[in-house]
Structure 1
Amino acid sequence: MLYPLFFEADYKERVWGGTSLRDRLNKNIPYEHTGESWEVACHENGNSIIRNGLLKGITLKEALKIHGKEIIGKDMKEGEKFPLLIKFIDAKDKLSVQVHPEDAYAMVHEDGELGKSEAWYILDAKPGAKLIAGLQDRVTKEDFVKALEKGQLEQVLHEVEVQAGDVINIPAGFVHAIEDGIMLAEIQQNSDTTYRVYDWNRVGLDGKSRELHVDKSLDVIDFEGKHPKDIAKGLCIKKGKNDIIYYVANSYFSLEQLNLNEPMMVTEQKTYRIYMCVNGEGKVLYNGQSYPFTLGDTFMIPAEIDTYTLEGHATLVQTYIPDIQKDILDVLQAAGYTLEDIHKHVRIG
């Protein structure tokens, strides 16, 4: 029988990284330029390690080979990837302007890699901090190329000012960048495919210019403006003194915020859930055992655990792979929200 799984992160040195993961989240970072903490990772470029219980010391990849069905709720096929990659990101400096491909493009051009849709939950932001979120209205491919050639790409990019607690959806094809002074939690497909369009004319930690991927970027950028560029407002459901705020739900993942103020029992779980503690502390109660968590912890409830209790005073970012109709639309409509409300305030699909 499995149990709540807690993880040791895999840290990534980045030219734009800093020390906020240590200073703000109490992470034992190995670099002064630590940009990413891969919290739940099962990828050839990084693996998180289970830090508790009988599976302590093995990677998530190894655990899935042994207990795949118990963890994710189904047998994993040969070559099948764990669907999600969960991170904390510290942008002391701004990231490159970039875009990610959809699955079909990545399959052909990136040796079978997944595409990459993601969503961000802002943990901390300096006053006036901004994200690049999409393009200005009516920017064409020709406009984009012309601005890039002139070194004036900023003129065609859309910026959004953010603060702690904001959520923004970043689907495949959506041009984006995290600017300086922002720390966030990232929920994404299990992919490390990033196409850099523009990197502010800087060099990497090795003193060399970082590779750009302009041609591939132009192949995959959404120039039609299909996706919203503003902050997701979300919709809240009360469960006693607890709140669950629904922000993003698509075929790859959900992003929800749980404000935990009193014990909350979770029942009839159909799939695994991952929680990131972004404020406060608490514990998971399961099978007569208590599993404490605190700020900066990330843990997974395996799919075979269908009843457990969360207790404490904490803010948790939670994610799972939702059934859009049953887990999102039906739940929100039962709480009194209309379909118009839902599609206006939650990033669906």
Structure 2
Amino acid sequence: MSLQEVQSTATLLPLEFTPLLKRARWGGERLGTILQKPIGLEGDFGESWELSDHPEAPTLIASGEYAGSTLSEVIGQNPQAMYGAGTCYSTFPLLIKFIDATDRLSLQVHPDDSHLADFDARKAGKSEAWVILDAAPDSRIYAGLKAGVDADELGAHLEQGNVEACLHSYPVRPGDCVFIPAGTLHAIGEGILLAEVQQTSDITYRLFDWNRLDQSGQPRPLHVEQAFNSINFQRGPVDLLEPRLRQDADHRVETLLESSCFSIRRHQSASPLRLSSVNRAQILIVLEGTGQLQCSAESYELFQGKTLLVPAAASDCQIVVEHEMTFLEVIPG
């Protein structure tokens, strides 16, 4: 059935997507060994784009009446069914990834909307959040500048090749969560597997690549001027988030983040539970355990590494737990 033949209805069922798997020289095996992505025996996969409505790299719907369609095509049919009353985006506002870093990623920054408006108002800024899934004992992240570091000091250290002296960094362990607002200099350290929730944008300015050379002996291209223009030097260090806990019998809920961009809650349950009726689109990201999402007489398998989009109009949805589950619930701002 073509997309044009599908009639808009009051109910829009949950959507699952075919991930986009991306190789990287810093990638590893954990997207397959832990998150069950079909990467074969290769050991250099760095990213799995789980849900993307980015025009240059959309994930396609994997099953159901909209199989093979992009998210924008479905939203165009019935935006209110996706978002609920009072909210409307032509492009879905969030992008979900898993990232496996066996080496440090480049030190980078994503511009905010105000900086982009100066030269390309069609593009959006990018804030993001990381939830750590696995980490080596000595793994650390780089999140913001040390207090008091200004552009002159950062520039001097950049010329000397020792930018790390200006960076706020700290060790992380599974379960940690950090919010990286647009304009924050940051990098994922080696040995980390994480889930990333970000605004739908892929604009990245690399400031420093740890003095590494590529296979041809050349340094990686950098975007020093754009990066300096995008860094918020007033922000300073960015620390781990402190979850807000609510415990109800067999159901544990941690509010990890509430921002204007998106909110994230982490659920842990051994018993069935109903999805909250927020009249908003919700994204479910399964971190541990197995079960099913049951919605309008349809059932969707849930397992470690699975991502589902539950539209606002999906009704009477509940999660049936087989083995104790931990999952993230993400709601766009």
User: With structure 2 as the length reference, what TM-score do the two structures score?
Assistant: 0.90
State the shift of 1:210 in Å: 2.6
**Which deviations, in whole Å up to 9, do the C-alpha atoms of 1:179-226 show, x marking residues without a partner?**
110000000100001111001222457775332111111112121235
Q: CA deviation at 1:110?
A: 4.3
SS in 1 for 2:275: strand
Flag as ranges the 4+ runs of structure 1 deviating above 6 A: none
> Amino acid of the residue matched to residue 319 of structure 2?
L
Alignment-derived partner of residue 34 in structure 2: 24
1:269 aligns with 2:282: no
SS of equivalent to 1:94: coil
Which AA in structure 2 matches 1:154? E
Given the alignment, which residue of 276, 280, 284 partners 2:289?
280
Work out whether 1:70 is the aligned partner of 2:65: no
1:46 to 57, 60, 79: 57
The equivalent position to 2:108 in structure 1, one of 80, 90, 98, is: 98
Deviates more, 1:295-304 or 1:213-222: 213-222
Q: 1:132 & 1:83 partners in 2: Cα distance?
A: 25
**Secondary structure at the counterpart of residue 315 of structure 1:** strand
Specify the alignment match of 2:3 in structure 1. Answer: none
Letter in 2 for 1:37: S
Q: Distance in 2 between matches of 1:296 and 1:132?
A: 25
Query: Which residue of 2 is the match for residue 337 of structure 1?
Result: none
Distance, in Å, in 2 between the alignment partners of 1:36 and 1:204 is: 20
User: Separation in 1 of the partners of 2:120 and 2:46?
Assistant: 24
Q: Secondary structure at the match of 1:109?
A: coil
Q: Quick one: which amino acid aligns to residue 272 of structure 1?
A: A
Q: 1:213 aligns with which of 223, 235, 238?
A: 223
Q: Kindly state the Cα deviation for residue 267 of structure 1 after the two structures are TM-superposed.
A: 4.2
TM-score, normalising length: structure 1: 0.86
Once the two structures are TM-superposed, the CA of residue 281 in structure 1 deviates from its matched residue by: 1.1
Question: One-letter code of the match for 2:305?
Answer: G
Whole-Å separation in 1 of the counterparts to 2:63 and 2:13: 9
Q: Which residues of structure 2 form unaligned runs of 5+?
A: 1-10
Aligned to 2:193: 183
Quote the Cα distance in structure 1 between the aligned partners of 2:240 and 2:327. Answer: 19
3-state SS, counterpart of residue 28 of structure 1: coil
Does residue 305 of structure 1 match 2:314?
yes
Amino acid at match of 2:308: F
What is the aligned partner in structure 2 of residue 232 from structure 1?
A: 241
The amino acid across from 1:184 in the alignment is: L
**Residues in 1 aligned to 2:307 and 2:24: alpha-carbon distance in whole angstroms:** 21
The 5-angstrom pairing of residues 133-152 of structure 1 reads: 133-152=143-162
Rounded Cα–Cα distance in structure 1 between residues aligned with 2:149 and 2:285: 37
Query: Aligned partners of 1:76 and 1:205: how far apart in 2?
Result: 47
SS of the residue aligned with 1:55?
coil
Give the partner amino acid of 1:186: E
Contact 2:265 2:328 in 1 (8 A): yes
Alpha-carbon distance in 2 for matches of 1:141, 1:161: 25
Residue equivalent to 1:34: 45
Query: What code does the residue aligned with 2:111 have?
Result: P
Cα 1:82–1:194 shift into 2, 3 Å: same
| Aligned partners of 1:267 and 1:307 also within 8 Å | no
Among 78, 97, 114, the alignment partner of 1:87 is 97
For the residues of structure 2 that align with 1:207 and 1:46, how far apart are their CA atoms?
30
Deviation at 1:67, TM superposition (A): 3.6
2:124 corresponds in structure 1 to 114
Amino acid at match of 1:147: H
Contact kept, 8 Å, 1:100 with 1:193, in 2: the verdict is: yes
Matched, 1:294 2:306: no
Residue 18 of structure 1, CA deviation: 1.6
How far the C-alpha of 1:58 sits from its partner, in A, is: 2.2
Name the structure 2 match of 1:123: 133
Please give the alpha-carbon distance, in whole angstroms, between the structure 1 residues aligned to 2:222 and 2:94: 25
How far 1:161 moved relative to its partner?
0.3
Q: CA deviation at 1:308?
A: 1.2
Contact 1:71 1:302 in 2 (8 A): yes
Determine the structure 1 residue equivalent to 2:254.
245
Counterpart residue type for residue 93 of structure 1: D
Single out whichever of 35-44 and 283-292 deviates more from structure 2. Answer: 283-292
- Tell me the CA shift for residue 279 of structure 1: 0.8
SS in 2 for 1:62: helix
Q: Which runs of 5+ in 1 are unaligned?
A: 323-349
Could you tell which deviates more after superposition, 249-258 or 101-110? 101-110
Query: What SS is found at the alignment partner of 1:145?
Result: helix
Q: Which has the higher helix share?
A: 1
Residues paired across the two proteins, number: 320
8 Å contact 2:72–2:90 — kept in the other structure? no
Pairing 1:163–2:155 present: no
Q: Distance between the aligned counterparts of 2:309 and 2:200, measured in 1?
A: 16
Q: CA deviation at 1:316?
A: 0.5
Q: Percent identity?
A: 35
